[in-house]
Amino acid sequence: MRHNDIKKTYHAFRLIVIPDIVKRTNKILLYFLIFLLVLMFMPWTQNVDLKGSLTSFNPAERPQTIHSTIAGRIEKWYVREGQSVKKGDTIVYLSEIKEKFFDPQLLDRIKEQIIAKQSNLAAIRNKSEALKKQIQALTDAMNIKLQQGNIKIQQLKLKIAADSADFIASKKNYQIAKEQFDRQVQLFEQGLKSKTELEARELRFQEAQAKLISSENKFYATKNDYINAIVELNNIRADYLEKISKAESELNSTLAYYYEAEGEISRMNNEYSNMQIRSSFYYITAPRDGFIVKALKSGVGETIKEGDEIVSILPENPQLAVELYADPMDVVLLRPGDEVRIQFEGWPALVFSGWPGISFGTFEARIKVIDKVSTNGKFRILAVPGEGKGGKWPEFVRVGTLVKGWALLKNVPVWYEIWRKINGFPPEFTHDIPINKDDKK
């Protein structure tokens, strides 16, 4: 039975009136259900939430602190906070606090000491050259004396040979004269020779004996001269070697003093150079163009140590980048070149993370670097401005501004994204994963 027939048959049904507001509400609910059904099949861009801050991509362009190289006392400030400076501009002037550097003429005095030491070194060099010449002269004189002595020894050797021959001849003559004298004596005793002939023979015998003694004496005297010549030659060698050794010892002492003076000059030159360089550290200058952010030491007369922080400086026109941090489970989904939508803190924005196309106040960035090592359990990501329409970042954001980012992944239906989050599944991979043949098996 149809609805209209029931109303005609039963009077109670004719008394039931459905208000218009109920009808309109039912229509709205129906349209809303249809809208939800359509919405479930709309594309949703999966994303990874990232948080971080604005920084510079080049480490040399990041905010840096200028330190004092030497200990000193602040005498004068040349800048104020927020001031723009150029590379080489003086920031602060320091004075010495160490008493060894108090002398204002210290560099000149060290230079005078170096000049005096160099003059002393020249004198030592001249002395060493003179000693070398003396040693050479003694060596030459010794060689000449030794050569003369060797010649004399050779002459005495020849003379010994000649005297030896004379001595042998004298001995032979003596033996002959003795035999003749003995026969003459026998003949005289036999009455065959006269007294006069015996005396003449005796005289010749005496002459032969005298000549033998003379030649023997001459032979031994020559041998003695030969031995004396050898001793004299050794004495000459010993005497000259003693003089040469003494000169060489003095030369070595002079050379040792010379090298010591050279080392002293080198040390003084090093001290002079260090003082020149140290004097340049009295003026702390800007390492590059930028802005003075904050003075970490204040006032005049404040004492600082080596390595103390003086001021912090922000380089001018840094190449901006965002430093974001991702969980280990999410970082595997990202690759360099992937798109990231970022929102700067304090910048008006209306964000629909799954529909980046209709979001307002977000800007495009591209992942440039992903760290290989985690920091405090998260992986750092550096992203730079993209090349698309949303790649130009605001001019007024500053380094250190907090940033929120969404790394865009694969497009999926809304119902799938809801189902994935309810089950706690990770987002879909947007890149192909290389798989080995063994892995496939």
> Do 254 and 229 share a domain, yes or no?
yes
- CATH number, domain of 299, equals 2.40.50.100
> What does the DSSP assignment read for 376-401?
TTBEEEEEEE-SSGGGPPPSS--TT-
Question: Which candidate, 110, 113, 109, 121, places its Cα nearest to that of 262?
Answer: 121
Does some domain include residue 424?
A: no
Does some domain include residue 21?
A: no
> Do 164 and 202 share a domain, yes or no?
yes
Cβ distance 268 to 114 under 8 Å? yes
Strands of 99-179, DSSP E: none
95-117 pLDDT, tens digit per residue, is 888 877 777 788 888 888 888 88
Check residue 387 and give its pLDDT: 77
- CATH number, domain of 140, equals 1.10.287.2610
Q: Which residues contact 105 (CB under 8 A, 6 or more apart)?
A: none
Check residue 37 and give its pLDDT: 78
The Cα–Cα gap between 208 and 199 comes to 14
> Do 384 and 242 share a domain, yes or no?
no
Check residue 382 and give its pLDDT: 92
> Do 179 and 77 share a domain, yes or no?
no
The Cα–Cα gap between 381 and 370 comes to 5
Check residue 380 and give its pLDDT: 92
> Do 234 and 329 share a domain, yes or no?
no
Token output for 118 = 């160099």
> Do 156 and 276 share a domain, yes or no?
yes
Q: What string of pLDDT tens digits covers the 441 residues of the chain?
A: 455 555 556 555 555 555 667 667 877 887 778 877 776 777 877 788 899 998 888 888 888 888 888 888 888 899 888 888 998 899 999 988 887 777 778 888 888 888 888 888 888 889 889 988 998 998 998 899 888 888 888 888 888 888 788 878 888 887 887 777 777 777 777 777 777 777 777 788 788 778 878 887 888 888 888 888 888 888 888 998 898 899 889 889 888 888 888 888 888 888 888 888 888 888 889 888 888 888 888 778 888 888 888 888 888 888 888 999 998 888 888 888 888 888 888 787 777 777 776 777 788 889 999 988 888 888 999 999 887 665 688 888 888 889 998 888 877 777 877 787 787 777 766 665 555 555 554
Kindly provide the b/e burial profile for residues 339-366, where b requires at least 16 CB atoms within 10 angstroms of the residue's own CB. bbbbbbeebebebebbebeebeebbbbb
> Do 291 and 175 share a domain, yes or no?
no
> Do 112 and 253 share a domain, yes or no?
yes
The Cα–Cα gap between 197 and 160 comes to 37
- 7, 10, 13, 24 from 16: Cα distances, Å: 9, 11, 5, 17
DSSP summary character for residue 100: G
Question: Which candidate, 312, 310, 302, places its Cα nearest to that of 95?
Answer: 302
Does some domain include residue 324?
A: yes
Q: For the whole model, what pTM was predicted? A: 0.58
Query: Domain residues for 194?
Result: 106-280
Token pair 């007024």 is found at 396
Token output for 49 = 């939430």
Check residue 421 and give its pLDDT: 76
Token output for 6 = 């029931």
253-288 pLDDT, tens digit per residue, is 888 888 888 888 888 888 888 888 888 888 889 888
Does some domain include residue 38?
A: no
Does some domain include residue 179?
A: yes
Does some domain include residue 266?
A: yes
> Do 172 and 213 share a domain, yes or no?
yes
Token pair 């030592």 is found at 124
Check residue 72 and give its pLDDT: 87
How crowded is the C-beta side of 193, counted as CA atoms within 13 Å? 18
Last residue in a domain, options 290, 314, 338: 314
Length of the chain: 441
> Do 73 and 89 share a domain, yes or no?
yes
> Do 163 and 265 share a domain, yes or no?
yes
Does some domain include residue 26?
A: no
Question: Which candidate, 409, 142, 108, places its Cα nearest to that of 279?
Answer: 108
> Do 328 and 223 share a domain, yes or no?
no
The Cα–Cα gap between 244 and 134 comes to 8
Last residue in a domain, options 280, 306, 330: 280
Does some domain include residue 269?
A: yes
Number of domains in the chain: 3
Q: Which residues contact 23 (CB under 8 A, 6 or more apart)?
A: none
Check residue 414 and give its pLDDT: 74
